[in-house]
Structure 1
Amino acid sequence: MKHVFPLLALGLGLVTGFAAEASARDPVIIQHPPPRVPAVDVEPFLDAGCVRSDDTLDCSASPTIQPFGCFGNTLHIDEALGGLAPRVAIASCNADAREDGAVGIVNLGCMLPQKRRYLLATGGGRFELLDTAAAFLERFAPVTSQAEALGFAVALTTATPEDTIEINDGRDFLVDRIETTNVRKVRGGYRVRLFDMEVCGCGLHPTSAVDYFVPNSGRVRVAARAQVYQFSGFVCID
């Protein structure tokens, strides 16, 4: 979990500072309709004894889920994965990266580092753990739809969708034009716009708009990246 603290609240006597390169005027924001993605199925996790709260599943009372070693016995639901095919109940089951031999698809967290993994329901009360990108590709490739492309880009990177971007006093914009998350069909696959914030430590934590190319093979790669906004003042994230 990320913990965000303004430095002033820590008693360090630092006040908000503005970056010299911040945009002098509000940017033009192109608000795309959110990609249409089916809802993620979570019923098998509930049947296994997990309890849902918003986008998390507390599985501390589930003898079926506990052996998979999910950090804090908690699963995380990401609605962006609802378009994966074949369709399956899926939730992230992160591993504690401080443990010897921990394996995962991407690295998450700061002072409490984790490795993202995915738990799938395979029917009959059974579950399967995917803890590498290769295993994820083997299970879900090829990518044949915009909804699948979104799921691959989110599952295999640290970036996330932003369906709405609002002008507010909490951040400085670094560009004159921003497009929200969208998925476009291109030659050989799809181009997916996501957003990725620089986390950990103290600073302005710029967020980049990242365009990922998701080919039919599912091997996601960065096509373009540009910083688009940052916090108006120094913030500590651990």
Structure 2
Amino acid sequence: MKVLRYVLGLGMGLGLVHAMGSAEQASAAEPTIIQHPMLDVPAVNVQPFLDAGCVRSDDGLDCSAAPAIQRFGCFGNFLRIDPSLGGLEPRVAIAECSAVVSDETAATTGIVRLGCRLPLYRRYVIASRGGFELVQSEAQFRERFGSVTSAAEALAFATALTTAQPQWKIALGENEEFLADRIETTHVDRIRGGYDVHLFDTERCGCSQHPTSAVAIRVSLNGRIQVGEGVPVYQDTQVICVD
């Protein structure tokens, strides 16, 4: 459950996690896995952030000593690097800057809600004209990156503008169980007028087994997205409460 693990990993006020014991629902047998090749996506440029004083970690940047980044109010002065964004055009240095945002203003100051009780929203910091700028709405994101011209860029739009994430391999932990008989890994299909991007999204909040669903996200050539109905494919074996 990579999406859930990421949200919980932000920690420090996002919510309390309580394991409630094993669930009685039986899991599916070992499914048929349709393994699609990993999309060739250029690496995300992080050098401008390093030059500004950020320090690279496994999955992001600690920008506690970078005044040029601190002014954006990123949660914990941390920037997340999402490899899926490498296909954006024009090519820029980009990193996720999550921040606590009022729900009343989220339409213009947040792209996707990540928190449960805490109104934590995804935004992006972009290196631009020798400095940095903040992209904090879906409309700003589309305006900044324009039309979608490739499968790699469709992947970037789908992951940037939703909570869904790619999974190029299906490998469950010991406390997870399958729900589907057939699962396809992430892939992008070219369709008339755009792309269908096949990702995975996890139910993050509340008390449940937090199923992860396969979901198709339609990305039009003008960057607008339409999220299809998810199909649950695996879940935790325990009921876990995330407040």
Q: Is the TM value for this pair above 0.5?
A: yes
Distance 1:81 1:148 in 2: 7
Taking a change above 3 Å as real, the CA distance of residues 115 and 175 of structure 1, as seen in their structure-2 partners, is: same
Note the alpha carbon deviations across 1:145-197, whole angstroms, 9 max, x for none. Answer: 00000000000000111111025542222221000111111111111011110
Which of residues 219, 223, 228 is equivalent to 2:228?
A: 223
The partner residue of 1:48 within 23, 35, 52 is: 52
Query: Where do 1:1-238 residues align within 5 Å?
Result: 1-2=7-8, 5=17, 7=19, 14-20=20-26, 22-23=27-28, 25-97=29-101, 101=105, 103-124=109-130, 126-166=131-171, 169-238=174-243
| Larger helix percent | 2
Q: Which amino acid aligns with 1:45?
A: F
Checking the alignment, whether the CA contact within 8 Å between 2:59 and 2:80 is kept in structure 1 is: yes
- Which 10-residue stretch deviates more, 132-141 or 95-104? 95-104
Q: 1:150 to 1:60 in 2, by over 3 A?
A: same
Give the length in aligned residue pairs. 229
* Preserved contact between residue 103 and residue 119 of structure 2 (Cα < 8 Å): no
Moved over 4 A (4+): 3-6, 98-102
8 Å CA contact 1:212–1:224 kept in 2: the answer is no
Query: Separation in 2 of the partners of 1:228 and 1:99?
Result: 31
State the shift of 1:133 in Å.
Answer: 0.3
How far did residue 113 of structure 1 move?
3.2
Deviation at 1:237, TM superposition (A): 2.8
Offset of 1:101 from its aligned partner?
Answer: 4.5
Partner amino acid, structure 1, of 2:198: R
Contact 1:26/1:167 (8 A) holds in 2: no
Q: C-alpha separation between the residues in 2 aligned to 1:168 and 1:49?
A: 36
Consecutive unaligned residues in structure 2, runs of 5 or more: 1-6
Larger Rg computed on CA atoms: 1
User: 5+ residue gaps in structure 1?
Assistant: 8-13
Structure 2 length as normaliser, TM-score?
Answer: 0.88
Q: Percent identity?
A: 55
Q: Which position in structure 1 is the counterpart of 2:3?
A: none
* 8 A Cα contact 2:165 2:199, kept in partner: yes
TM-score by length of 1: 0.90
Contact 1:213 1:223 in 2 (8 A): yes
Amino acid at match of 1:105: I
Task: Provide the secondary structure at the position in 2 that maps to 1:183.
Answer: strand
CA distance in 2, matches of 1:61, 1:172: 42
